[in-house]
C-alpha cells in the first residue's frame, strides 16, 4: 500500500474521534462532512465510565468535565406514586475504573473539543460542505466521489470509515443490511431551566417508570449554572408532530410530569424517530462502519454515542496497526468485537430499559421495581448492575473476543 490515507465520511463525534485517534498515530486522514459546520443540536450528553477511559487516552476528559457536569448517581422513580425506587452510585466501581461517575457533556461541546485538537495535526484534513455520494473499492484502494460546490471529485485512500450517521450513504452504497426495527412512538425532548433537583430532589440522571407515560429527566450544563434539564417522553405516532411540539402541548406535558403554579420555560423542543438496528457487518473490504452508521438504539440509558466512540477507539488502533503492516484480519476482529457487543449489550439493554419504564402489567411492573430496589440495596449486585450500565462489562467482553473459529 503506497497511499496510507484513511478517508472518513462524517464529521460527527465518531468520525472526528476516529480522525483524532488516527491522526495522533501519524496516519494521514481526509474527513468529509456534508454540513458547513459542526452540528449544534442538543443530542447525546451522558458519557459513561468505559467511554471516559477511551477519551482519556486522547486527553479529552478534563475539558469535558470543565464544560459539563460530573455525576456519580442515577435514580429510578415510580412516577404514579412519586417514590424513589432505586439509587445507584458509581462510587461502587472505584476499584475498577479511574472514572467512577458519568460526565454529562453535550455532544456539540465534545465535537468542538475534538475539532480544536485536530487543528494542530498537519496530517488531518477536515472538509465541511463536502458530501460523500459514491464509493468504489478495489483490492488496492478505495475511492469516494465527493460533491462540493456543485462539483464532483474523486478522492482515493487506503480505507474508508463510514461515520456518516444512521442514514449512512456509505452503508447503503456498500449494500450492508441494517437489521432491526423502528418504534411506532416517537421520542419527544423538552428542555427547561426549571431546577428539578432543588424543587423535586431528582439527580442529574433520573428515570421514571409509568404505565401511561414514562420519562427520563437529565441535567446538562448548557451555557453555565444553573444549567438545563432535558426531559424525554414517548409521543403518540398518530398525533400531528406540529401539535406534539406546540408550546401548549409541551407545557401540558411538563405540568403533568410535575404540576407547578408557574408555567415552565421551554427552551428547546425536539421530536425524533427511534430505531433499534445493527449493520449486518461493520467491514466490507476496505470500508468500515462506526457509530450510528453501524448501530442505532433508543436513548434510554444513553448508550448510543458511547458505543460509537468505543467503536472509533477500537477501529483506529487496529487500522493504524494494519497500515503499519499488521494483518488486515484485525479489521474483521474489529467488526466481530464491536458488532457482537452492540447486539449483546447496547441493543439488549436499551430495549430492556424502555420495557422496564413503560411496563403496563401491574404484577410485572411491581416485580421490575422491587427487583431494582433489591439490586440497589445489595452492594455486590449493585456493583454488577453498574458494570453493565457503565459499559465496563461490554468493553471487557469486546476485548475477550478473538478471531478463533473465523479463519
Q: What residues make contact with ligand FAD under the rule CB under 6 A?
A: 9-15, 32-35, 39, 43-46, 107, 131-132, 163-165, 169, 189, 270, 272, 291-292, 299, 302-306, 308
Compute the least distance from the CB of residue 280 to ligand FAD, in Å: 18
Look up residue 181 and give its three cell numbers: 426495527
Please confirm whether the linkage preceding 226 is cis (ω < 30° from 0): yes
Compute the least distance from the CB of residue 189 to ligand FAD, in Å: 5
Burial of 112 from C-beta contacts in 10 A (0-12 / 13-18 / 19+): middle
CB-nearer residue toward ligand FAD: 282 or 365: 282
CB-nearer residue toward ligand FAD: 10 or 100: 10
Compute the least distance from the CB of residue 85 to ligand FAD, in Å: 21
Q: Which residues contact 34 (CB under 8 A, 6 or more apart)?
A: 129, 130, 131, 132, 164
Look up residue 396 and give its three cell numbers: 471487557
CB-nearer residue toward ligand FAD: 211 or 348: 348
CB-nearer residue toward ligand FAD: 280 or 402: 280
d(CA 76, CA 110): 27
Compute the least distance from the CB of residue 251 to ligand FAD, in Å: 20
Compute the least distance from the CB of residue 90 to ligand FAD, in Å: 16
Angle at the Cα of 192 (from 225 to 255), degrees rounded to 5? 140
CB-nearer residue toward ligand FAD: 78 or 292: 292
d(CA 212, CA 358): 7
Compute the least distance from the CB of residue 349 to ligand FAD, in Å: 12
Q: Are 19 and 315 in contact (CB under 8 A)?
A: no
Look up residue 229 and give its three cell numbers: 434539564
CB-nearer residue toward ligand FAD: 139 or 151: 151
- Of the chain, the end-to-end C-alpha distance in Å amounts to 23
What is the number of the residue whose Cβ is closest to ligand FAD?
Answer: 12
Look up residue 334 and give its three cell numbers: 474489529
Compute the least distance from the CB of residue 279 to ligand FAD, in Å: 12
Best CA proximity match to 162, nearest among 178, 149, 148, 151: 178
d(CA 353, CA 89): 18
CB-nearer residue toward ligand FAD: 21 or 46: 46
Compute the least distance from the CB of residue 230 to ligand FAD, in Å: 8
Q: Which long-range contacts (CB under 8 A, 24 or more apart) does 238-245 make?
A: 241/186, 241/271, 244/186, 244/188, 244/271, 245/188, 245/269, 245/270, 245/271
CB-nearer residue toward ligand FAD: 181 or 407: 181
Amino acid at each position: 500500500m503506497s497511499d496510507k490515507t484513511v478517508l472518513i465520511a462524517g464529521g460527527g463525534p465518531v468520525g472526528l474521534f476516529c480522525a483524532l485517534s488516527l491522526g495522533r498515530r501519524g496516519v494521514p486522514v481526509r474527513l468529509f462532512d456534508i454540513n458547513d459546520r459542526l452540528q449544534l443540536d442538543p443530542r447525546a450528553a451522558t458519557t459513561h465510565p468505559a467511554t471516559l477511559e477511551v477519551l482519556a487516552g486522547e486527553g479529552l476528559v478534563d475539558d469535558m468535565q470543565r464544560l459539563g457536569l460530573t455525576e456519580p448517581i442515577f435514580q429510578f422513580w415510580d412516577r404514579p406514586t412519586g417514590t424513589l425506587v432505586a439509587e445507584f452510585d458509581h462510587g461502587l466501581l472505584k476499584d475498577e475504573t479511574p472514572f467512577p461517575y458519568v460526565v454529562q457533556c453535550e455532544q456539540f461541546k465534545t465535537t468542538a473539543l475534538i475539532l480544536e485538537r485536530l487543528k494542530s495535526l498537519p496530517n488531518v484534513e477536515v472538509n465541511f460542505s463536502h458530501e460523500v455520494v459514491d464509493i468504489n473499492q478495489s483490492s488496492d484502494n478505495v475511492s469516494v466521489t465527493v460533491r462540493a460546490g456543485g462539483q464532483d471529485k474523486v478522492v482515493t485512500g487506503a480505507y474508508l470509515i463510514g461515520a456518516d450517521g444512521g442514514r449512512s450513504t456509505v452503508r447503503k452504497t456498500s449494500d450492508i443490511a441494517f437489521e432491526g426495527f423502528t418504534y411506532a412512538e416517537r421520542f419527544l425532548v423538552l428542555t427547561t431551566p426549571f431546577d428539578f433537583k432543588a424543587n423535586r430532589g431528582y439527580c442529574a440522571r433520573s428515570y421514571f417508570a409509568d404505565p401511561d407515560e414514562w420519562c427520563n429527566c437529565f441535567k446538562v450544563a448548557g451555557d453555565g449554572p444553573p444549567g438545563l434539564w432535558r426531559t424525554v417522553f414517548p409521543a403518540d405516532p398518530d398525533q400531528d408532530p406540529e401539535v406534539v411540539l406546540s408550546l401548549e402541548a409541551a407545557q401540558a406535558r411538563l405540568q403533568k410530569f410535575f404540576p407547578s403554579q408557574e408555567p415552565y420555560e421551554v427552551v428547546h423542543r425536539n421530536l425524533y424517530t427511534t430505531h433499534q438496528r445493527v449493520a449486518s457487518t461493520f467491514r466490507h473490504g476496505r470500508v468500515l462502519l462506526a457509530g450510528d452508521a453501524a448501530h442505532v438504539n433508543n436513548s434510554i440509558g444513553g448508550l448510543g454515542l458511547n458505543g460509537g466512540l468505543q467503536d472509533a477507539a477500537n477501529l483506529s488502533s487496529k487500522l493504524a496497526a494494519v497500515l503499519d503492516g499488521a494483518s488486515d484480519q484485525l479489521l474483521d476482529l474489529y467488526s466481530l468485537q464491536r458488532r457482537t457487543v452492540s447486539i449483546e449489550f447496547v441493543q439488549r439493554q436499551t430495549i430492556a430499559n424502555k420495557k422496564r419504564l413503560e411496563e403496563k402489567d401491574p404484577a410485572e411492573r411491581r416485580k421490575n421495581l422491587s427487583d431494582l430496589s433489591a439490586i440497589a440495596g445489595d452492594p455486590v449486585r449493585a456493583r454488577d448492575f453498574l458494570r453493565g450500565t457503565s459499559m465496563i462489562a461490554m468493553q471487557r467482553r469486546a476485548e475477550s473476543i478473538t478471531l478463533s473459529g473465523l479463519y
